[in-house]
Amino acid sequence: MREDVFVFPALERLVYGRPAALALAAEVERINAKRVFLVVSGTMNRTTDEVEKVQAALGSRYAGKYDAIPPFNPRSAVLKAADHARSVGTDLVVSFGGGSVTEAGKIVRLCLQHDITDVDAFDRFRAITKPDGTRFMPQFEGPRIPQIAIPTTLSAGELTTGGGATDERVKRKFSHENPRAVPRTVIFDPAPTVHTPLWVWLSTGVRAIDHATEGLCSPRSNPVSDGMYQHALKLLGSSLLKTKRDPADLNARLESFYGIWLAIAGRHGGVEMGASHAIGHALGGSCGVPHGYTSCVMLPHVLRYNRTVNAERQRLVAEALGHPGKDAADVLDDFIAALGLPRRLSDVGIGPEQFSSIATTAMHDRWLHANPLKITSPEQVLKILEAAA
């Protein structure tokens, strides 16, 4: 009989379908925050009135904002945001933007909790995975200042207890994990997401499909998580194609939000991801490939690599995506092509000369060591990269 633990995150509320500004105002009042600091997408702040609407809804509770978080959340940018938040006496952080903005909100709170003021100080709080898969998790007090997250992509970081920041000196993104890192409230409003570039929305949706697929194919799967993952795949497979056809379809975008919610919820059941996530982290943090794209170019090839050990589970993926009896890798490859997204490493500017470094970096990722087909050497990662070239 299998034993495991389903750990429910400390997320208090998930508000969906309501206008972000109205939902935020109500949540701030409920929490009784007085000094609200916004970490927002710079592009959205400069080119739309969405941030202005949120700021106006806060009224006198608005304390300040930061809108210069680059992709992959570099430590130097987080420190600047934290300095600003500290200077205005922040008692609530609101993130409004994509995955890097959401993560920045988490790490700003960590900086405020532990008075982190320089890039070296982050190292005390980062998880370490050795090439043999052994892992060191530092113990530290989680952030007391709460966060409300309003995501504008499908990366789903707002639903997890981890957050990352990139050490620009070594070009690696390191994870900082704590149960209290998860936002107190998440607001899913599809309306502001129409300003998100379509390729970002669709590719982060494939990232969510990657969550559900690797979860469903995980050796640590369980019946409760399986149900979440299968329904997530059905929702995402349908809604992303609808959004591709009509980017203004808000119902389809809300369905995609439901899909990522389910895809992440399944992970709390002790389910682990695999090589697609691990290699994707290396491609993103070290090579600058957007995380949505990493799933597009890696997931089908990882499925083919793993087929000998989990073909039955992969059949569940194909069935949930509406193609029973077909090969899951081929189904996903065709699906990604239908969305107009890249499918090979060469499509995202990654050549064979980078493969060795990527493989070595991936060995330090915890998910690589949870892959269904055991990976113990960089040479095995190289085989997957060569197949995806």
Segment 125-172, tens digit of pLDDT: 998 888 888 888 899 999 999 999 999 999 999 999 988 899 999 888
Domains, the chain? 13-191 (3.40.50.1970), 197-388 (1.20.1090.10)
Whether 329 shows a pLDDT value over 80: the answer reads yes
In whole angstroms, give the CA distance from residue 126 to residue 128: 6
Token look-up 């190289």 returns 382
Residue type, 314: Q
Whether 3 shows a pLDDT value over 90: the answer reads no
Can you read off the two tokens belonging to residue 183? 């936002």
Strands 13-16 and 185-188, sheet pairing? parallel
At residue 320, the 3 state secondary structure works out as helix
Sign, Cα dihedral of 167, 168, 170, 172? positive
DSSP string, 188-209: E-SGGGGGS-HHHHHHHHHHHH
| Average pLDDT score, the chain | 95
How large is the angle between the packed helices 198-216 and 328-338, nearest 10 degrees? 170
- Closest Cα to residue 190, out of 15, 28, 70? 15
- In tens, the pLDDT along 170-213 reads 888 889 999 999 999 999 999 999 999 999 999 999 999 999 99
What is the reported pLDDT for 28?
98
The answer to whether the beta carbons of residues 365 and 282 sit under 8 Å apart is yes
First to last CA, the chain: 42
In whole angstroms, give the CA distance from residue 314 to residue 199: 26
Can you read off the two tokens belonging to residue 75? 């430590």
**Count of residues for the chain?**
389
Residue type, 220: R
What is the reported pLDDT for 172?
87
- Closest Cα to residue 45, out of 94, 112, 79? 94
Whether 2 shows a pLDDT value over 80: the answer reads no
- In tens, the pLDDT along 266-310 reads 988 889 999 999 999 999 988 999 989 999 999 999 999 999 999
DSSP string, 138-165: ---PPP-S-EEEEESSS--GGGSSEEEE
- In tens, the pLDDT along 211-255 reads 999 999 999 999 999 999 999 999 999 999 999 999 999 999 999
The answer to whether the beta carbons of residues 79 and 23 sit under 8 Å apart is no
Residue type, 378: P
**What is the mean pLDDT of the segment spanning 91-119?**
96
**What is the mean pLDDT of the segment spanning 4-12?**
88
Whether 29 shows a pLDDT value over 90: the answer reads yes
What is the reported pLDDT for 170?
87
Instruction: Decide: pTM greater than 0.85.
Output: yes
The answer to whether the beta carbons of residues 168 and 74 sit under 8 Å apart is yes
On the CB side of 7, CA atoms within 13 Å amount to: 14
